[in-house]
A and B are shown apart, each in its own frame.
Chain A
């Protein structure tokens, strides 16, 4: 039996578009979902309208403390409001694990709220020897 004829055939691969589109859509969905998760740490607030430090060297913050205008504290929008005691426990856990430095922590406080809660959070940070803080502003 001779099957010789097929060996001589030149096969040029055809680029299949369907799986490529599937993958691209999967990637889009992944990034959209990931972006949603990233947004959960940032609650919609009226941040103080200030120019800020304009310092590009500051690293991104991994621990974001949102303070609403009514003084409520949120660190993850899916969890909802947390008390100062819970916040302190979280900070302690992160400190023990060695994950926190001062520039990892970002305070996002609503400009219309009183400074009382923000001051309490600063007292808490000072208790754990953080020598500085980052306060989020909304750039003009």
Chain B
């Protein structure tokens, strides 16, 4: 008995099923689109840290420009020298004209919100201060 062998001898061409490949590609695409939308873009502020421990801290470090972030009459304020601001944009205007070389210290009370304190760091950076130091309120 003889079977036709022509088919066996013929070169088998690789059958690539494109439809499955496209399915997988679309699944991957959808997955990455969803995860990209869900994760909000984050950035960072990285101030230097200094803890005010009375006489331990060199007073000369605390002398220069200090922004006190405090609550006065139940309202959060930025105090810079004799000036007091409730608005970050007014603080920004004053920061623009200050000398940048000595750097700036931000001393935040426990009572203010994180957003209000972080805004002072951001405004200092935006004003051109490279040396921004955050001093948390004493324990």
Tell whether, in the assembled complex, residue B113 and residue A112 are in contact, meaning their CB atoms are under 8 Å apart: yes
Q: Please list 17 pairs of residues, one from A and one from B, whose beta carbons are closer than 8 Å in the complex, sorted by A's number.
A: A10-B9, A11-B12, A17-B16, A17-B20, A21-B20, A52-B43, A52-B45, A58-B44, A103-B46, A113-B113, A114-B113, A122-B136, A126-B50, A137-B42, A137-B45, A138-B41, A139-B43
Q: How large is the interface on A (under 10, 10 to 19, 20 to 34, 35 or more residues)?
A: 35 or more
Q: Is the CB of B114 within 8 A of A50?
A: no
Which residues does A use to contact B, with CB under 8 Å? 9-15, 17, 21, 24-25, 28, 32, 35, 47-55, 58, 67, 103, 106, 109-116, 118-120, 122-123, 125-126, 130-139
Q: Which of B1-46 contact A (CB under 8 A)?
A: 8-9, 11-17, 20-21, 24, 27-28, 31, 35, 40-46
Are B114 and A109 interface neighbours, CB within 8 A?
yes
Query: Residue A24 contacts which of B17, B24, B35, B69 (CB distance < 8 angstroms)?
Result: B24
Number of B interface residues at 8 Å Cβ cutoff, please give it: 49
